[in-house]
Amino acid sequence: MVRYDRWMAEQRHNLVVGGDSVIGRALVNYYNRAGIPVCATTRRNCEVGSGRIFLDLGEVPQKWALPEDVEVAYLCAAVSRTIPCRRDPEGTWLINVERVVRLAESLLVRGGRVVFLSTNQVFSGKTPCAGVDQPPRPVSEYGRQKAEAERRLLGLGSGVVVVRLSKVIHQGDALLTGWVKRLREGRVIQPLCDYHVAPLRLDFVVEALTAVAGGEGLYQLSGTKDISYAEVGTYLAARVGAYEHLVQPRTTAESGLELEAFGPHTTLDSSRLLEHTGLMPPDVWKAVDIVLESGE
């Protein structure tokens, strides 16, 4: 049984679907700090209440209990890891495509707007700065699912905004904070030299998402250039004063990781976002710096 706070029924508010995700939590914190009504969905029954409602996209839509007066809904919930999508394409397709589109339809009928978070993985990564008008060419199952969800959602009308994002870094990033800890302890790290990212700061992503919420259509946002994880490791070593020899890069093949065959480019043409909001993505190294910052 879904429990609603009384204030939810008394005023329009923003909804974050996937409030347990990194971006979802950051959006909720943003609206709370601004004093703007917001509620979030969770799949954890223990967290229901105090502005959080239960919603599991794995359940049949008839079991969903959605707020009626949603102004903007951010769709952050997804199976976002590539390995589960590759191993269970049918099960993850149900969540990432069928149920996400059904949810968006339900929210639009209620008069809300929808902001859908997508990914640079709708492209192959073979060329830099992929454009908004460039046809998607995904090479991973996850990318294919996101591309199909985009297509269906954009077909629902002007109440939908799709935002493609490259790698988002936050202060609690497990991989990078783990590297920082090891480097400070004088231990070796082995970042990939053939896996690239165009990192974005989480706080900038939140600013951009809220800025385009009143728009329509497709926006893209990425860091200003592609950098390898090996370059990130070397940069972090210099920032914490660790010896450079502690960074020992490896290739994907040497690491034995199950990674999709993705090209070296993750950058996206962000000019439409700049034109509509005036927001310019910060330098990629400022994005990496976020893991060295203290506080929230």
| pLDDT one-digit tens code per residue, 58-116 | 999 999 989 888 999 999 999 988 889 999 999 999 999 999 999 999 999 999 999 99
d(CA 87, CA 93) in angstroms, rounded, equals: 11
**Which residue in 124, 117, 149, 158 sits closest to 138, CA to CA?**
124
> Helix (H, G, I), strand (E, B), or coil: what is residue 200?
strand
d(CA 227, CA 287) in angstroms, rounded, equals: 12
> Could you give the number of structural domains in the chain?
1
* Residue 208 structural domain: 6-170+199-225+266-283
144 domain-assigned: yes
293 domain-assigned: no
164 domain-assigned: yes
Question: What percent of the chain has a predicted confidence (pLDDT) above 70?
Answer: 93
User: Could you tell me if 224 and 283 are in contact, meaning their C-beta atoms sit under 8 angstroms apart?
Assistant: yes
Give pTM, 2 decimals. 0.92
CA-CA-CA-CA torsion sign (209, 159, 146, 80): positive
Interacting residues of 181 by C-beta distance below 8 A, sequence separation 6+: none
191 domain-assigned: no
d(CA 258, CA 271) in angstroms, rounded, equals: 33
Dump pLDDT digits (tens) for 24-44: 999 999 999 999 999 999 988
User: Could you tell me if 205 and 221 are in contact, meaning their C-beta atoms sit under 8 angstroms apart?
Assistant: yes
Residue 148: CATH number of its domain? 3.40.50.720
Is residue 202 pLDDT above 60, yes or no?
Answer: yes
* Phi, psi (rounded to 5 degrees) for 160: -115, 135
Interacting residues of 206 by C-beta distance below 8 A, sequence separation 6+: 23, 26, 27, 30
235 domain-assigned: no
**Which residue in 211, 210, 95, 188 sits closest to 146, CA to CA?**
95
Q: 78: which DSSP letter?
A: S
